[in-house]
Amino acid sequence: MYVKELGFDVKTSSVGFKDIDTKKGIVVGYFSAFNSKDSDGDIILPGAYAKSIKERGPKSAKPRVKHLLDHNKTKAVAVILELEEDTTGLKYESRAGRHKDGTDWLLMCEDGIITEHSVGFETIKEEKKADGNHMSELLLWEGSSLQAWGANHNTPVTGIKELKAAELNDRFTLLEKCLRNGKYSDEAFPAIEKELRAIKHLLSILTIDTTEPDHNTDTTLPGLKNEEVSEVLTQFINKQKVA
């Protein structure tokens, strides 16, 4: 996935977590996976982050790599303590910040709202081959935890019949439970509620036969902009494509 307005490219990974210690505020997971071809035809190779880790990582003379939420430069949620490559991908160990964003992030990891990660980077070396674009060196700027699913924002909202109601319903149930338990900050609730409303609406239109050319598949929802509902739909469709 590419998001040019950020000033760098981003790639999403669904590898997930290895460990979550809420008492210590420590989370261990993967920002990126190796040798996995994505929808853009890109394959990140082992060693792609080695130089960045050495020169910009948490153990370097000038640490520059940040742990963000949803690639939001104003949402640094944790401090990266360890950053390394292993056989799976780019592994991190981060400690949650003591501010509201950090506390909410830790709770979202524990509750299962956050399940995927993404990296923000600049491409230094790549080689196009028959099986895909092999990326061998990336300048790493940040690793992000994603509240929703990894999405390609340049992909139009199409293929509504690809949605799986059972998985959407599971996501809805999870978010509803998190919303009701009341442990998140006031700033976190709007984002959870927005996704809940969007998913509820998407579930209501899954019975639409999209083969009908004249059928109205408008995804507008009172209190939620059409593009916001469309974004949730796009994110879910892209998750099905990489699953």
Residue span of the structural domain in which 23 resides: 4-146
Q: Are residues 57 and 132 in the same domain?
A: yes
How far apart CA 226 and CA 243 sit, in angstroms, is: 26
Single pTM value for the model: 0.70
| 222 or 30, higher pLDDT | 30
Distances (CA, A) of 112 to 40, 65, 78, 205: 27, 24, 17, 25
Do the domain assignments include residue 151?
A: no
Q: Are residues 132 and 208 in the same domain?
A: no
The per-residue pLDDT for range 53-64, each reduced to its tens digit, is 999 999 999 999
Q: Of 94-103, 214-223, 227-236, which gets the smallest average pLDDT?
A: 214-223
Task: DSSP letter for 9, please.
Answer: E
Q: Which residues of 171-184 are buried (b: 16+ CB within 10 A; e: fewer)?
A: bbebbeebeeeeeb
pLDDT, mean of residues 170-186:
84
How far apart CA 128 and CA 132 sit, in angstroms, is: 6
Do the domain assignments include residue 65?
A: yes
Neighbours of 204 (CB within 10 A): 10
Q: Are 27 and 96 in contact (CB under 8 A)?
A: yes
Q: Are residues 106 and 37 in the same domain?
A: yes
Distances (CA, A) of 114 to 59, 60, 212: 26, 28, 36
Backbone angles phi, psi at 145, to 5 degrees: -95, 140
How far apart CA 227 and CA 201 sit, in angstroms, is: 13
Strand 132-146 to 66-69 pairing: parallel
Mean pLDDT of the chain: 79
| 178 or 241, higher pLDDT | 178
pLDDT of residue 46: 98
Tell whether the model's pLDDT for residue 4 goes beyond 50: no
pLDDT of residue 103: 94
Cα dihedral 141/239/200/176 (nearest 10): -60
pLDDT, mean of residues 172-188:
84
Do the domain assignments include residue 39?
A: yes
pLDDT of residue 195: 79
pLDDT of residue 8: 77
Residue finishing a domain among 118, 146, 174: 146
Q: Are residues 114 and 202 in the same domain?
A: no
Q: Are residues 186 and 232 in the same domain?
A: yes
Q: Are residues 105 and 212 in the same domain?
A: no
pLDDT of residue 205: 61
Q: Are residues 218 and 114 in the same domain?
A: no
Q: Are residues 141 and 187 in the same domain?
A: no
Q: Are residues 135 and 166 in the same domain?
A: no
Do the domain assignments include residue 153?
A: no
Number of domains comprising the chain: 2
Q: Are residues 46 and 112 in the same domain?
A: yes
* Residue 217 banded pLDDT, cuts 50, 70, 90: very low
Do the domain assignments include residue 105?
A: yes
pLDDT of residue 113: 87
Q: Are residues 131 and 210 in the same domain?
A: no
Tell whether the model's pLDDT for residue 40 goes beyond 90: no
Q: Are 75 and 100 in contact (CB under 8 A)?
A: no
Q: Are residues 16 and 87 in the same domain?
A: yes
Tell whether the model's pLDDT for residue 180 goes beyond 50: yes
Do the domain assignments include residue 154?
A: no
| 121 or 179, higher pLDDT | 121
